[in-house]
Amino acid sequence: MRVLQKKLRPTLEFENAAYSRGFSKIAGIDEAGRGPLAGPVVVAAVILGNNWNMKVELNDSKQLTYKKRQELYDLICEESSAFKIISISPQDIDRLNILQATLLGMKRCSALICPEPDYLLVDGNRYPDTNICGQTVVKGDCLSKSIAAASILAKVTRDRKMVEFGAMYPKWGFERHKGYPTRKHREAITEHGLSPIHRRSFRL
């Protein structure tokens, strides 16, 4: 008999556990753009805060429609206690490698968000180099509302940047594939070579 897996939905379980241990400013951190061949990696940190409306259904940005992401982006920016969004350039990605560039973005977000968090919930299994307490959460954007909120800010911000790059460099169609290695994108690279925002360290 086939067993249907229940879809994961983000909750405040991790946040409430941190609250119960005396932490008060809990930030979720996530990124967008680790896999593309072009463009920045964008990292976001969000402190939802005690006044966050728990009825708002947040989720992994990849599970949401374009329209829903835009709506939630505005809501998170308006109603969260704090947020910070950092963009790491393709040049820095080439210099550091994508993992270290992502961790650098996470470190900067946690340092620059105001108020400074006292606990971090970081999506994935690698923790940034910071003295702030916290934990990694594998599939965190599906489990933690704070991380899900960060994933939405990161993805919407990056998608908007790639649309702008599409206008600047129309030969590559960034507004459509957002820099990911689609067939059309690879064909454009074959025909036109690399644009100024392609990551030179990534294999085609």
Q: So where are the chain's domains?
A: 13-161
User: Pairing mode, if any, of strands 41-47 and 82-88?
Assistant: antiparallel
Say yes or no to pLDDT of 185 above 70.
Answer: yes
**What's the chain's average pLDDT?**
94
Nearest to 121 by CA among 8, 13, 9: 13
What confidence category does residue 9 fall into, taking pLDDT thresholds of 50, 70 and 90?
confident
Average pLDDT score over residue span 29-51? 96
Q: What is the secondary structure of 80-121 as a DSSP string? A: SSEEEEEEE-HHHHHHH-HHHHHHHHHHHHHHHSSSPPSEEE
- Specify the pLDDT at position 8: 76
User: What are the pLDDT digits (tens) for 104-122?
Assistant: 999 999 999 999 999 999 9
What confidence category does residue 204 fall into, taking pLDDT thresholds of 50, 70 and 90?
low
- Specify the pLDDT at position 37: 97
User: ∠ at Cα 44 (19, 99), nearest 5°?
Assistant: 105
The pTM (predicted TM-score) of the whole model is: 0.94
Two tokens, residue 115: 């108020």
Lowest mean pLDDT among 23-27, 32-36, 59-63: 59-63
- Specify the pLDDT at position 66: 93
CATH for the stretch 13-161: 3.30.420.10
- Specify the pLDDT at position 40: 98
Lowest mean pLDDT among 2-16, 32-46, 174-188: 2-16
What confidence category does residue 57 fall into, taking pLDDT thresholds of 50, 70 and 90?
confident
User: What are the pLDDT digits (tens) for 122-146?
Assistant: 999 999 999 999 999 999 999 999 9
Say yes or no to pLDDT of 13 above 80.
Answer: yes
Kindly list the distances between the CA atom of residue 88 and the CA atoms of 71, 127, 186, in Å, as whole numbers in the listed order: 25, 17, 23
